[in-house]
Structure 1
Amino acid sequence: MSRILSLLLVIIVAGCAGLFYAAPIISFADVRSSCQSQDIDALAKLIDFDTVRISLKAQLDAGDKGLAAPAPSALNDPVGATGSAFKNVADSVGKAINDMVNPNAVKAPAKPVIDVNSYLTPKAILGLTYGEAKDANRFEPSTFEGKPPSPKVAFFSLERARLTVTDEAHGTTTFTFERHGLTHWELVHIGLPTAESEALKANPAG
């Protein structure tokens, strides 16, 4: 009897561990399903829209170069922060002087205004989970052919998990989930592929 109880306990523990590990993948599938059914209430529980909106806007504004490292902190690196501030001022002054001295000089085209909210509709989010990346805001599920790509676990810890979806035309999109509760995982970041990141994956160091 004791052996049966021990075996049963092992099976229960293994099952709980497997469910815990699979929870982010289940949440990803739930996001897809909720997008397909246009279930806004479910998406609000599955996605931290404020955080995802901020991260997507920063990436879309940065373009193919990707995001730069955060500026030096005045608290942790006062010298670096001061230097960065002076550089920003110098760049602004230099640009102003150049505009006055060369008023007819060819100016760089203005960046197009990107509506980040167009990437946060159910259809666009579904497109992101299909790997459509920056084309997700133009994604039409009815025209999609083939089987949707399956997510792969790129990182997993007790509090955070990253799943990736790869599309041959667009590259790899990364979805970061954070745990809230025992088995509830919330999408907090969508990492769009960049030209540099895809080049690094194609030609890894060493």
Structure 2
Amino acid sequence: MKLNKTKVTIHVGESYKLKVKGTKKKVTWKSSKKSVVTVNKKGVVTGKKAGKSIITAKVGKKKLKCKVTVIVKANKSKKNNGDIEMMNKQIVTTIDGKEVSVTWKDNDSVKALKELLKDKSIVIKMSKYGGFEQVGSIGKTLPNNDKNITTRPGDIVLYSDNQIVIFYGSNTWDYTRLGTINLSESELKSLLSNKNVILKLELK
């Protein structure tokens, strides 16, 4: 028995449904800070203001917990010249010193990643996992829009709010899509399947 998420990041006013897997018993939900996050009897959490709260799901005597972080959504109507200039810049992606072409998604996660890259580039030590992916920590939390998806070779996704995963194989899980590397499957396997790699992201 477990929660579908142990960490969730949402914007103020947004909601996310938590679920307890592996039981059909009655679940009682509770928020440690109702002023930050509310939760209804169906496990739907809603962000009220910026901050953090622990959501507890009680099933019988067992308690399961999820950390919910609420962030303020950027006001798109008040972009200054610096914001516009930043959004026009592209994320340059390098793997083990080789620059690769990536088609990035236009979503809140990628916009938040660009914000991080505005000050300095990010270097991530990736690790092979499962025979189909390389995974590494960003070191910061990004907003997510997780959906249960089946990835393809070349997909770049956000996992658990703070990890970037690059696929050279396929997997089905809850991820937020970030982009796709424009290489063939054989090129991806040659680049990613033999050893741990260094991923560098910078804004240019």
TM (norm. structure 2) is 0.27
Q: Which has the higher contact order (CA 8 A, sep 6+)?
A: 1
Structure showing greater Rg: 1
TM (norm. structure 1) is 0.27
